[in-house]
Chains A and B, each alone.
Chain A
Amino acid sequence: MSGHLLEVRNVTRRFGGLVANSDVTFTVSPGEIIGLIGPNGAGKTTLFNVLVGIYPPSSGEVIFDGKSIGGLKPHQIAKAGLTKTFQNVALFGETSVLDNVVTGGLVNRSLTDARRFAAECLERVGIGAIAQKKAGDLSFPERARVEVARALCTSPKLLLLDEVMAALTPAEMEEIIELVRSLRDEGMTFIVVEHHMKAVMKLCERLIVLNFGEMIADGTPEEIAGNRKVLDAYLGANFSTQGEGH
């Protein structure tokens, strides 16, 4: 093994006749912050769901931390150190913010230790003040932060963040970017799906682009910004060629 944290090899995921991910291949090294971008419906969330085990891959292989995880249950993958946040937010709504996060900590801790670590995670994400509130009563940006704290409490090696910055103000976005960077400095690895391009370009050192389920590019933000295929995918083929004349 070449020291990769994650290897995605020729992963395809079909739903009946629909191919949501087609032959996706890439690797992630420890300590990277990777942006996964692409137009709506490109298969970003599906790829996340395949990686954490919600859907098994239809074909292909996923190797995480030296072990093949394709086909394992989500709780086994979480225990191995790979989890995600939910784009449409899937908190335990009737439960307090603290208890939501504590539940994440139980994957590898006793209840007492999970309580202590959950309090740390809440502080880290900046929501210590709302620990006792019911998760279902929170605003969307607050709930997204609870999602992050709950995922952090599982002590992941690789964390998949699915649009946690949606609906945040620029200042709040800056806080999340700082948080992700500092966690990376402590050894955590990230794949980030985000529609806010400025934030993605600022946060990520490498981008992977999906379009209609296929991977069309993998490179630095600068490389991706100049990539013809990517421009075509986002703006339409005609627009980018016509654009050259102006």
Chain B
Amino acid sequence: MTRSNTLSIALPALVVLALIIAPLGLDPFGYTLRILCLMLLFCAMGQAWNIVGGLANQISLGHAAYFGIGAYSSTILFGSLGVSPLIGVFVGMFLAAIFALVLSLPTLRLKGHYFALATLAAGEVARVVANSWTSLTGGPVGISVPYRPDAGFWALQFQTVLPNYYLFLGAMILVSLVFWLVQTSAFGYRLRAIKENETAAEVIGVNTYRVKLHASILSAVLTAMLGTLYAQFQFFFDPDTIFGVATISVKMALIVILGGAGRLYGPWVGAAVIIPLEEMANSYLGNSIAGLSQFAYGVLLIVVILLNPRGLISLFESLRDRLKGRQRA
């Protein structure tokens, strides 16, 4: 095994170890722990997006639809019928799969910007529906997850933030594992072929439509699962945040593109940079000028794409290669 190979296994293992130990020194109800929770959750969301957006370069800006479907499904089932979110999560995943299937029929034939715009529109449709279907969703005022701290794990609610933290860490590792399995399988080869040249991929036997469809559904299902976890963590949400373009859809894409699209550790790096940065922007600037953090977001996205569209990971790699080259010389 080469040195860089050892490093690429040892470094993430160290990161996971640090993530396991980190919260032990923190206040279990504290703000910092909540930020770390969001970081892990958004890392997992980015990783789910990475399957179709990163590997196949199908830039979806509508993943909030799946996220919201997951959140609303489990919350409505729990609130009105008392169904455990542990069951509701699967209902949400199923409904997200159906939505992805229906959405894919027309959109997967679109390329590039057209695909991005169509998915953006689909996410917005979901938001508008959630806002107007008041009898089901509660409408613009939002919806609360009934607080049942006595019910324990069955209600997927906890007395402190700590269990949530480990739940999110587990989810992040699970989605990363799924991504890695996809990336290294025949499926991953086909997705990369689609990213690089769809016509050539077809001519050498890749059923591009079916491969994209399967990737979209897998990505949607994982995103819906994370939507349920988010709802159980926040206890309250409304259509504009859960189906938000900037708050969810673009953030998922940005995390992956900033870190490194199609790379296993791309979302890890992206989430580790963006989430704390956003929190800082919110706490320092948010009170004075509303919406400034979203403006900062857009600027960041443009700067990254202009300077290094392959993301921060490739920046580290080229730096490492340059150092290696110098050592050899």
Q: Please report the C-alpha to C-alpha distance between residue A111 and residue B186 in the assembled complex, in whole angstroms.
A: 6
* Residues of chain B from 194 to 216 with CB closer than 8 A to chain A in the complex: 195-197, 199-208
Q: Please report the C-alpha to C-alpha distance between residue A107 and residue B192 in the assembled complex, in whole angstroms.
A: 15
> Could you tell me if A103 and B193 are in contact, using CB atoms closer than 8 angstroms?
yes
Q: Please report the C-alpha to C-alpha distance between residue A104 and residue B205 in the assembled complex, in whole angstroms.
A: 7
B residues within 8 A CB of A233?
none
Residue B190 lies at the interface, judged by CB distance under 8 Å to chain A: yes
Residue B185 lies at the interface, judged by CB distance under 8 Å to chain A: yes
Given A75-B206, A75-B207, A107-B205, are A92 and B186 neighbors across the interface (CB < 8 Å)? no
> Could you tell me if A91 and B205 are in contact, using CB atoms closer than 8 angstroms?
no
Q: Please report the C-alpha to C-alpha distance between residue A52 and residue B203 in the assembled complex, in whole angstroms.
A: 7
Give the A-B contact count at a CB cut-off of 8 A.
79
Give the residue of B185, B186, B195, B205 whose beta carbon is less than 8 angstroms from that of A78: B205
Interface majority SS (helix, strand, loop, mixed), chain B: helix
Q: Please report the C-alpha to C-alpha distance between residue A88 and residue B296 in the assembled complex, in whole angstroms.
A: 42
A residues within 8 A CB of B199?
54, 74, 90
Residue A73 lies at the interface, judged by CB distance under 8 Å to chain B: yes
> Could you tell me if B185 and A111 are in contact, using CB atoms closer than 8 angstroms?
yes
Q: Please report the C-alpha to C-alpha distance between residue A54 and residue B203 in the assembled complex, in whole angstroms.
A: 8
> Could you tell me if B186 and A110 are in contact, using CB atoms closer than 8 angstroms?
yes
> Could you tell me if B197 and A91 are in contact, using CB atoms closer than 8 angstroms?
yes
Q: Please report the C-alpha to C-alpha distance between residue A103 and residue B204 in the assembled complex, in whole angstroms.
A: 8
Q: Please report the C-alpha to C-alpha distance between residue A97 and residue B195 in the assembled complex, in whole angstroms.
A: 16
Residue B180 lies at the interface, judged by CB distance under 8 Å to chain A: no
B residues within 8 A CB of A106?
186, 189-190, 205-206
Residue A79 lies at the interface, judged by CB distance under 8 Å to chain B: yes
Q: Please report the C-alpha to C-alpha distance between residue A91 and residue B201 in the assembled complex, in whole angstroms.
A: 9
Q: Please report the C-alpha to C-alpha distance between residue A99 and residue B190 in the assembled complex, in whole angstroms.
A: 10
Q: Please report the C-alpha to C-alpha distance between residue A90 and residue B199 in the assembled complex, in whole angstroms.
A: 8
Beyond the given A54-B202, A95-B193, A154-B204, could you list 7 further A-B residue pairs with CB under 8 A, ordered by the A residue number? A78-B205, A83-B203, A92-B192, A92-B193, A92-B197, A103-B190, A107-B205
